[in-house]
Each structure stands twice: as structure tokens, then as C-alpha cells.
Amino acid sequence: MVLKRARLLLGALPLGAALALSLSPGAQAGSITAESIWDKKSAIERAQSQLPANATVTNTHCTVVNVRIGNYRYICTVEYTTNPVPGSESNAPAP
């Protein structure tokens, strides 16, 4: 019986940790994907234009897809993290 409880508790720990992290107001990560028919630079610029105001780019990668002979599509993903803006969090109850 004690062993079953210990296993149950150990199994619930990752779920509890994930829930606690998702509710914390700390840094969050995300990604934006954009494409261009012109070049990689244009695809990256399109993705970066959609970033949140307080985002920090952590990684960028692109894929070139040949859609027809001599015609390419550039698909780029920009990964980022965001940190809460200091002073934006308030402990006061909402009105």
C-alpha cells in the first residue's frame, strides 16, 4: 500500500511541476514562422515583425523548399523568449 502511494506521488510530480511552471508569471518561449518567395532575409524579417514587444530572439532557422523548377519558397522560424515587464504585475485585486 505504501509503495503504491509512493509510485502515485512520484508519477504526479512531473504533472504538478508542469502546472506550476505554466501558471508562473516568469519567462515564456514561443516561435513564429513566416515565408517569402524572395529570400531568407525577407522571411526572417516577416517573422521578426510579428514578435511581441518584449521578446528576445533565441534562435532562427530556415528551410528552402523547391516548389517548381527554379522556384523556391523560404520558410523561416524565429524562436524567442519573453520576460514580464517590471511593474506590469500587480498584487492588488482587479477592480
Model confidence over 46-94: pLDDT tens digits?
999 999 999 999 999 999 999 999 999 999 999 999 987 666 555 545 5
Q: How many domains does the chain have?
A: 1
Task: State the CB neighbour count (10 A cutoff) for residue 72.
Answer: 15
User: What separation, in Å, do the N-terminal and C-terminal C-alpha atoms of the chain show?
Assistant: 49
- pTM, to two decimals: 0.62
Residue 54 lies in a domain: yes
23 backbone dihedrals φ, ψ, rounded to 5°? -90, -15
Q: What is residue 83's predicted lDDT score, i.e. its pLDDT?
A: 86
Residue 16 lies in a domain: no
71 secondary structure, DSSP code: E
Residue 66 lies in a domain: yes
Residue 58 lies in a domain: yes
Evaluate if residue 40 carries a pLDDT over 80: yes
The domain that holds 45 is classified in CATH as: 3.30.1660
Residue 40 lies in a domain: yes
Q: Which domain holds residue 63?
A: 26-82
